[in-house]
Amino acid sequence: MLFVPEAREPSAAELVRAAKALPVLTVGDGEGFAEDCGSIGFVTRDDRVQFEINPEAAARACLTVSSQLLRLATIVRDGRRARP
């Protein structure tokens, strides 16, 4: 697992790109993380922490996300939100 905090430095973005080809779960916080590059992103909405999952990013890392976890998350795809 690779956690990338919201205050990302350029070197952190390089780590995420390098991890795309490896079986590494990339997790970050901040709006758009899962849409941009990560598998799971934590976001704050309505004063609550919620999470987004990008199944495409997880599949590229050869990871499977459980259907139970997917039901709780907002599903996003590369560059777009699939379900609010």
Q: Find the domain containing 31 and state its range.
A: 2-81
pLDDT in tens, 22-31: 899 999 988 8
pLDDT in tens, 15-64: 777 887 789 999 998 888 888 878 999 999 999 999 999 999 999 899 99
Alpha-helical (H) ranges within the chain are 10-19, 33-36, 55-60, 67-72
C-beta of residue 25 within 8 angstroms of C-beta of residue 1: yes
Number of structural domains, the chain? 1
Q: What's the Cα-to-Cα distance from 71 to each of 30, 76, 81, rounded to whole Å?
A: 21, 12, 15
Q: How far apart are CA 67 and CA 32, in angstroms?
A: 22
